[in-house]
Structure 1
């Protein structure tokens, strides 16, 4: 005999932070594509009071490419819901935000958007850890 189900019940919650992982994968890919573009473009020309100066951002581009790849992988791992994956993803996202703030003068709008999405992912991961800590 079937038992009747109550209508209006909430669906079962998943134990995996899928949205946070997806956001981290997306921002990691954006950082990687932007870093690739910086590597292909060469030097930047900056106008100042003393004239024109060439700025080579090759090191920063490689650093952003590496951190972007780490954030994307951490996002994929966070989706699995394994123990400690949220902590690693939070660390990678915080590192990406710090690097984005250092690169702010060169691409301010993109970096502010990426940093805001990373901060939202960190907030989601922290909320997930708090909820999972109460349940377990």
Structure 2
């Protein structure tokens, strides 16, 4: 009788692995863009359109600080994803989800740019959620 042994090694998904590396790079770039967006909102309130009637109205200086801090955290997490840090995958999903919400709230100030960043955030969340580093369990 022939006995077949099954490997305990998880199946590798090349698309998810490549997507995770790409997600790490996108997080670095996205974080740097958040930093620049925050700096421009802090430095000059006239860079973005003025919104008079908006439910989630925060002055642009406040948005600038929020985006600046979020950008620094996203850059650090993106570097962690690229280095394969165990914490970076979960933190990346959480911080990118928060970044997606921030961009939704920032939508009236820069609609096209916010939609682009929302789409990028969706991809990053998907890539990090489907990527399972070798030897690590799923979330």
TM over 0.5: yes
Question: 1:73 and 2:68 equivalent?
Answer: no
Displaced runs of 4+ in structure 1, greater than 3 A? 43-48, 130-135
Tell me the SS of whatever aligns to 2:85: coil
| TM-score, with structure 2 as normaliser | 0.72
Query: Could you list the per-position Cα deviations for residues 28-70 of structure 1 after superposition, in whole angstroms to 9, with x for gaps in the alignment?
Result: 111111111111112554467xxxxxx7311111001111111
Q: Which runs of 5+ in 2 are unaligned?
A: 1-13
Cα distance in structure 1, aligned partners of 2:72 and 2:60: 18
Q: Is the 8 A contact 1:101 1:111 kept in 2?
A: yes
Q: CA 1:40–1:83 in 2, change beyond 3 Å: closer, same or farther?
A: same
Q: CA 1:41–1:82 in 2, change beyond 3 Å: closer, same or farther?
A: same
Cα distance in structure 2, aligned partners of 1:35 and 1:91: 20
> Which residue of 2 is the match for residue 51 of structure 1?
none
**Which structure has greater strand proportion?**
1
Q: Which runs of 5+ in 1 are unaligned?
A: 1-12, 49-54
Cα distance in structure 2, aligned partners of 1:130 and 1:41: 43
Cα distance in structure 2, aligned partners of 1:81 and 1:96: 21
Q: Is the 8 A contact 1:86 1:129 kept in 2?
A: no
Question: 1:103 and 2:128 equivalent?
Answer: no
| TM-score, with structure 1 as normaliser | 0.74
